[in-house]
Amino acid sequence: MIQRSHLGVAATGLLVALSVLAARVNAWKLLGISWVAFLAMAGGVALGRRSPGDRPWALVWGYGLASGAMVTSAAVFLVPQAIAHDPNFGGFGVAFGLLAGFAGHTVGHRLAHHDLPMGRTTAALSAHAFAAGVIIGIVYGNMPDLGPILGLAIVSHKGPAGYAAARRLVSNGREPTALLVPAAGVGIAAILSSLIDLPAAPSVRGVVFGFAAGIFLHVAMDFLPQCELGSEVHELLTVSGDAHALLDRLRVHGVLSTALGGVAVFLAWVVVT
């Protein structure tokens, strides 16, 4: 427990130090996205730590709004950029990103069966956070004119993810403080990777931005609310009787929430343009 707490504090301290460097180079968009990700996940952890166990509706709506926003943002802000650089290489990049996301997800599950210093849940979320942060940093580091909507939509899943992870750890009698590591991981990796300057070749940029779009599309689909027996939502149910009927109702809420997440990004885009 002490080790986990120290890991979380250390990650937060590193994010603070790197934020000072980002502020000196006026990377305000990246800085804002990094801290929104941190506060969203830390807030989700705080809610999950104190929340009663049976809150499937909150989880469905949190995941649905976030995943809908992520799908829309990746499709609108990243896919066109990749295709504009090079139609063919951009398309290959999207495909590679989707396949790499699936491969990384599978490897993460395999690693979860091994002994890890910070717990399986925290390790999986940390790997995901650092990977996402690297891509966010490269995208914003090479596209300084890109608005903050994309980054904010991409990290919008941090809140419900932190909530669900905290509930899982608390139910197992474990301290969720270590979840500050994945909370800070996006910003740490994003600020560092923003220093990478991509070559000007359209084919290279097409592959990179397409890969980023594919990764984020995979993550978005991975966070689509799953209301099936054995799913994370089902694990939060503490009802007796017919769980199928309740899961059917939750599926409707899942569809509505993802649609509203996409509409929210569209409305934000209309406002800023």
How much is the pLDDT for 169? 80
pLDDT digits (tens, 9 = 90+) for 169-191: 877 777 788 899 999 999 999 99
- Are the beta carbons of 191 and 144 closer than 8 angstroms? no
Q: Give mean pLDDT, residues 24-52.
A: 89
| Rounded mean pLDDT, 58-73 | 86
pLDDT band at 240 (very low <50, low <70, confident <90, very high): very low
Kindly tell me if the per-residue pLDDT of 230 is higher than 60: no
* pLDDT, position 3: 44
Whole-number pLDDT of residue 1: 40
C-alpha distance from residue 31 to each of 100, 143, 245, 252 (Å): 27, 15, 44, 36
First to last CA, the chain: 48
Q: What is the pLDDT of residue 104?
A: 78
Q: Which of 88, 200, 95 is nearest to 142 (CA)?
A: 200
Counts for the chain of helices (H) and strands (E), in that order: 12, 0
Neighbours of 72 (CB within 10 A): 24
Higher local confidence (pLDDT), 141 or 230: 141
